[in-house]
Structures are given as structure tokens and as C-alpha cells.
Amino acid sequence: MASGFFAVLDDISALMDDVASMSKIATKKTAGILGDDLAVNAEKATGFVANREIPVLWAITKGSFLNKLIILPIAFLLSAYLPVAIIVILILGGIYLAYEGAEKIYEFIFPHAPTVDEETPVTIPEEELEEFEKSRIKQAILTDFILSIEIVIIALGAVIEEPLETRILVVSIVAILATIGVYGIVALIVRMDDYGYKLIKLNDEDNTISDKIGKFLVNSLPWVIKGLSVVGTLALLLVSGGIFNHNIEYLHHILPNMPSIIKDFLTGLIVGSVTVFVVILIKKIFKKKH
């Protein structure tokens, strides 16, 4: 009886070891998406009144957890009964990620002409602020849903050969850590300027250490968000390229001596550029018809 009990403990210990090691691998695989998720959510959580930033971010975080609760069971069922669907979704998701990354580069090189509405500052009446806030939260949760699918599928793709119980534990851990990690860091980022202003007002003296640190935090916020956007764009192309190179046999054997990071980036950029071109072409055709 005792030996059976210890055998169960040994099995659990071995499973936890497998889960821990596979979680590290899956987290590394999803790091690129997390970078973009961080950049996107930091941008969407800014622009509110200071005392509303954290409540808005908490509402988005709860929506993100709900997204994971919807996505995870469906992903596990597909991996158990239709594993080929995971690869298909992974490649389709890779095309979407490559498109997002290439589109950002395209918009940087060929920025669209600002409209009159974009140039004119928008003042939202106080009675409409609540509706505006709800709209922004819904947009952020929808974006999170798309990125959450990619996080879950990429994590699942990293452990697709493992037993079902390992897949469930690993992907669930990655999904939870992704949500807590991303939104925890976003909370710190969006409050950077507020912490900075508090440090500046800490005393009546000028040019103190607290003033310098406060001004640095205030001035750094826009650059941090821009920097995250650049890192996120590169990550999108690298992650998407890695998806194609690892899951499409033909691409996997092309240029075997090229460093994988360069190969992944170039593959993601080429697929993304082609997708951007096709989308622009389709939009032009539809405009002509209407």
C-alpha cells in the first residue's frame, strides 16, 4: 500500500518536472507574441484620466482571463481529437502575425495622409466618457482574444507531442503567466508618468534627485511605448517566420546553414509583405466596385 502511494508521488513528481521544463520551452516560443501583446495593451490602456487607468486595465485583465477560459478547452479538444487542426490554425495565425508585422513596417515607410479629424484634437463630453471607456475596453479585449489564440496555439504547438495531461498543464500555466505578466507590466508602464509627477511634487526644491527621476519617468513613457512597438513588430516577424519554417517541410530544408533568427525574420517578412500586398489589392478592387 505504502509502495503504491510513493509510486503515485513519484509519477506526480516526474509529471511536474516535465511540465516545468516544457513550460520554459513554451514560454520562450510565445515570448514574441507577449512582446506585441504588451505593446498593444500599453497603448490601449493609456489616454484615460489618471484615476481611471487601473480600473480600465483591471476590466481588460478580467476580459483576458475570460478569453483564455473560452480558448483553452477548444484548443485541448482539437489537440486530442483533431491535432492536424492545431498545425493549420498555427500556420493561419502565422500569416496573420506576419501581416501585422509587415503592415507596421509598411505604414512606417508609407504613412497614410492624416485626415482633418485626425489632426483636430477630440474633446469627449463628460457624459460620453463612460461609453468611450466601455468602447475602448471592448476593443482591447477583442485584440487580446486574437493574441490569446496565438499564445495558446503556439504554446500547444511546442508540446503537441507530449501526453494530453502535460499539454493541459503546460498551456494553462503559460496562459495564466502570460495574462498576469503582460497586464502587470502594462500597469507599471501606464502609471510611469503619474509616479513621475508625484516625485516632481515631492518637495518644493528645484532640480533635486526626485525631480530628475520624476522628469525621466514622465519623458520616458512615450519612448517606452514606441520601443515596445518596435520590439513587438520584430517579434511578430520572427515568431511567424519560425512557425512557417518549423511546420512547413519545404521551408524547413531551405538554406539549412543560415542562422535561424535571420531565416525566421526573412520568412516572416516575405510572407507578411505578400499578405499586405494582397490585402491592399483586395481593398482597391472593392473600392472600385463601390
CB atoms within 10 A of CB 141: 19
Q: Return the closest-CA partner of residue 98 out of 270, 279, 289.
A: 270
- Give residue 154's pLDDT: 78
- Cβ neighbors of 78 (< 8 A, separation 6 or more) are 85, 86, 89
The pTM for the full model equals 0.68
* Contact call for residues 34 and 151 (beta carbons, < 8 A): yes
pLDDT of 219 = 84
pLDDT digits (tens, 9 = 90+) for 93-136: 888 888 988 998 988 888 765 544 444 444 555 556 677 778 87
Mean pLDDT, the chain, whole residue set:
76
What HEC string does the chain produce? CHHHHHHHHHHHHHHHHHHHHHHHHHHHHHHHHHHHHHHHHHHHCCCCCHHHHHHHHHHHHHHHHHHHHHHHHHHHHHHHHCHHHHHHHHHHHHHHHHHHHHHHHHHHHCCCCCCHHHHCCCCCCHHHHHHHHHHHHHHHHHHHHHHHHHHHHHHHHHCCCCCHHHHHHHHHHHHHHHHHHHHHHHHHHHCHHHHHHHHHCCCCCCCCHHHHHHHHHHHHHHHHHHHHHHHHHHHHHHHHHHHHHHHCHHHHCCCCCCCHHHHHHHHHHHHHHHHHHHHHHHHHHHHHHC
Distance CA 58, CA 180 (A): 11
Q: Which of 57-71, 162-176, 189-203 is modeled with the greatest confidence? A: 57-71
Block residue for cell numbers 487580446: 144
Q: Is the CB of residue 179 less than 8 Å from the CB of residue 65? A: yes
Residue range 203-223, pLDDT digits in tens:
777 778 878 888 888 888 778
